[in-house]
């Protein structure tokens, strides 16, 4: 309930005295009502208490102090009068959790605080009539708290209210903002920032709807002693993400905007909500690496978070990514320091894994990242021989250009050129013949190069 009034009274960063005054002025004076002990016996008698509370705790940083909690309990406790037409049931005074009659209980509580004829209307005996009155009271409540620049509506999905324990959504200025959930023990108010991803960007800018940012920060700082740093309005939404899929979609939404100022949030999202495993990286890597604004901006890429991961973890994930033919994940891991010469459990270089399954693009990427083109398996096989056997023209060329020895023989002893000719691989044959010719010319030039000048002898010691 307190969160509801924080939203209602808030103007800018803190609770505004002017907003409180304007809100209270909408209600008829209740000073002439029958009182006892300084408290009004009529409903709405706590409006002055509500006003005094928020004038005292006008800053959000004060709302979660122990003193503020005690004072709020005083505002919402002991509201029932003898023979009260709108009784309120508490589980206990300390936590003032409501129980027993769901949404009617909440509306009764509000009626005790806000003086209004519709809110104070007694509940009829029939259930259908009760639910119809719930709708009237909710509509009236939204009318009472709405003002210029702040329009509140309730929403039950277009359905009529037909039960006491349900969840009602509230819309601020056309955007789904928060919900009230009711059950037999209490009612809770929750933000909808993690339920409607299309609205995330409409909420940037610290408008009334962004009260959740400040409320969340203050609650964490005061209750949980959690250290939170918010660099920009996006950052707050990273704390509402509850599973990997939401985080991935938020990353996709952020990078789709032509606004590099928000890219700094990516590290925070990835750190908090995206596990460092190949399944999550398969989705994340394609989103990041398909966006040149990210890969071309050294402020954000490579990601410091991934650079700091243990080498063995990156290498193990690289083996899995090559095995899964996850092109973008392989690139992401290589960009963050994974070893292109990593070997599998059998001692074979992962370059052989890529070639064995015709994954030429991944093989080329491994070579560009420093994979040894002349590496051998424990059985003595070469990557170039394997590429030739499988007829992978691009991989043969990539290996040779990366420095693979064209004179290498297969484990059977046959030359690469012999195998290529016998298999009728004309394009590879022509390429190997040219490569062998260039290798011989390079060797010949090296042997014919003049010897360097004789070494200068040191003068004999006197």
Give 108 or 224, the one with higher predicted confidence.
108
Averaging pLDDT over each range in 83-97, 169-183, 438-452, which range is the top one? 169-183
- The answer, yes or no, to whether residue 37 has pLDDT greater than 80, is no
Split into its structural domains, the chain has a count of 2
Give 292 or 349, the one with higher predicted confidence.
349
Q: How far apart are CA 87 and CA 108, in angstroms?
A: 7
For residue 136, the model assigns a pLDDT of 95
Q: Omega into 302 within 30° of 0, i.e. cis?
A: yes
Q: Is 263 contained in some domain?
A: no
Range of weakest confidence among 8-17, 242-251, 303-312, 335-344? 8-17
Q: How far apart are CA 87 and CA 22, in angstroms?
A: 29
Domain range enclosing 88: 2-213
Tokens 């040149």 sit at which residue? Answer: 292
Give 290 or 177, the one with higher predicted confidence.
290
For residue 331, the model assigns a pLDDT of 96
For residue 196, the model assigns a pLDDT of 46
Q: Is 134 contained in some domain?
A: yes
Q: Is 48 contained in some domain?
A: yes
Q: Is 24 contained in some domain?
A: yes
The pTM of this model reads 0.63
Range of weakest confidence among 172-186, 304-318, 375-389? 172-186
For residue 404, the model assigns a pLDDT of 94
Q: How far apart are CA 175 and CA 383, in angstroms?
A: 58
Q: Is 254 contained in some domain?
A: no
DSSP state of 123: P
Picking from 196, 213, 230, the residue at the C-terminal end of a domain is: 213
Report residue 202's pLDDT band, with 50, 70 and 90 as the boundaries.
very low
Q: Are 145 and 8 in contact (CB under 8 A)?
A: yes
Q: Where are the beta strands (DSSP E) in 105-241?
A: 152-155, 167-172, 175-182, 187-191
What is the pLDDT averaged over residues 162-180? 81
Q: Which of 181, 289, 225, 210 is nearest to 10 (CA)?
A: 210
Q: Is 333 contained in some domain?
A: no
DSSP state of 349: B
Q: Are 199 and 176 in contact (CB under 8 A)?
A: yes
Report residue 367's pLDDT band, with 50, 70 and 90 as the boundaries.
very high
Dihedral sign for Cα atoms in the order 323, 326, 330, 333:
negative
Dihedral sign for Cα atoms in the order 393, 399, 400, 406:
negative
For residue 405, the model assigns a pLDDT of 93
3-state secondary structure of 280: helix
End-to-end, the C-alpha distance of the chain in Å comes to 101
- Of all residues in the chain, the percent with pLDDT exceeding 70 is 77
* CATH code, 415: 1.25.40.20
Tokens 């700094």 sit at which residue? Answer: 264
Q: Is 41 contained in some domain?
A: yes
Interval 271-325: pLDDT, tens: 888 888 999 999 999 999 998 888 888 888 898 889 999 999 999 999 999 999 9
- The answer, yes or no, to whether residue 355 has pLDDT greater than 50, is yes
What is the pLDDT averaged over residues 405-430? 90
Q: Is 242 contained in some domain?
A: no
- Of all residues in the chain, the percent with pLDDT exceeding 90 is 33
Q: How far apart are CA 64 and CA 88, in angstroms?
A: 24
Q: Which of 112, 114, 19, 109 is nearest to 58 (CA)?
A: 19
Phi, psi (deg, nearest 5) at residue 102 = 55, -130
């Amino acid at each position: 309930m307190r969160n509801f009034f924080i939203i209602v009274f808030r103007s800018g960063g803190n609770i505004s005295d002017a907003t409180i005054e304007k809100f209270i002025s909408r209600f008829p004076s209740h000073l002439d009502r029958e009182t006892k002990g300084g408290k009004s016996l009529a409903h709405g008698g706590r409006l002055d208490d509500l006003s005094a509370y928020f004038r005292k705790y006008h800053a959000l940083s004060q709302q979660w102090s122990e003193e503020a909690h005690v004072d709020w309990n005083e505002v919402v406790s002991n509201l029932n009068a003898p023979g009260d037409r709108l009784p309120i049931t508490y589980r206990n005074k300390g936590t003032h959790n409501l129980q027993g009659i769901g949404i009617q209980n909440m509306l009764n509580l509000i009626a005790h605080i806000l003086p209004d004829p519709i809110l104070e209307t007694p509940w009829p005996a029939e259930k259908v009539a009760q639910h119809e009155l719930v709708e009237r009271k909710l509509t009236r409540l939204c009318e009472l708290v709405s003002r210029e620049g702040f329009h509140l509506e309730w929403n039950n999905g277009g359905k009529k209210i037909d039960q006491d324990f349900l969840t009602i959504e509230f819309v601020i200025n056309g955007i789904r903002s928060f919900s009230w959930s009711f059950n037999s023990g209490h009612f809770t108010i929750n933000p909808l920032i993690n339920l409607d991803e299309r609205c995330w960007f409409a909420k940037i800018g610290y408008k009334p709807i962004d009260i959740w940012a400040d409320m969340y920060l203050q609650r964490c700082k005061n209750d949980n002693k959690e250290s939170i740093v918010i660099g920009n309005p996006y950052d707050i939404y990273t704390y509402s993400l509850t599973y990997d899929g939401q985080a991935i979609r938020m990353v996709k939404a952020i990078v789709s905007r032509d606004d590099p100022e928000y890219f700094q949030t990516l590290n925070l999202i990835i750190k908090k909500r995206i596990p460092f495993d190949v399944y999550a990286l398969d989705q994340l890597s394609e989103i990041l690496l398909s966006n040149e604004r990210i890969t071309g901006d050294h402020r954000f890429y490579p990601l410091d978070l991934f650079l700091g991961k243990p080498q063995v973890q990156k290498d193990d994930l690289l083996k899995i990514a090559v095995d899964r033919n996850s092109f973008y994940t392989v690139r992401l891991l290589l960009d963050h320091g994974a070893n292109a010469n990593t070997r599998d459990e059998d001692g074979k270089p992962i370059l052989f894994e890529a070639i064995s399954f015709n994954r030429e693009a991944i093989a080329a990427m491994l070579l560009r990242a420093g994979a040894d083109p002349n590496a051998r398996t424990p059985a003595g096989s070469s990557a170039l021989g394997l590429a030739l056997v499988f007829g992978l023209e691009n991989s043969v060329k990539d290996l040779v250009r990366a420095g693979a020895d064209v004179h290498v023989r297969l484990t059977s002893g046959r030359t690469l050129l012999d195998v290529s000719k016998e298999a009728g691989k004309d394009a590879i044959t022509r390429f190997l013949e040219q490569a062998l010719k260039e290798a011989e010319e390079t060797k010949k030039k090296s042997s014919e190069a003049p010897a360097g000048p004789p070494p200068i002898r040191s003068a004999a010691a006197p």
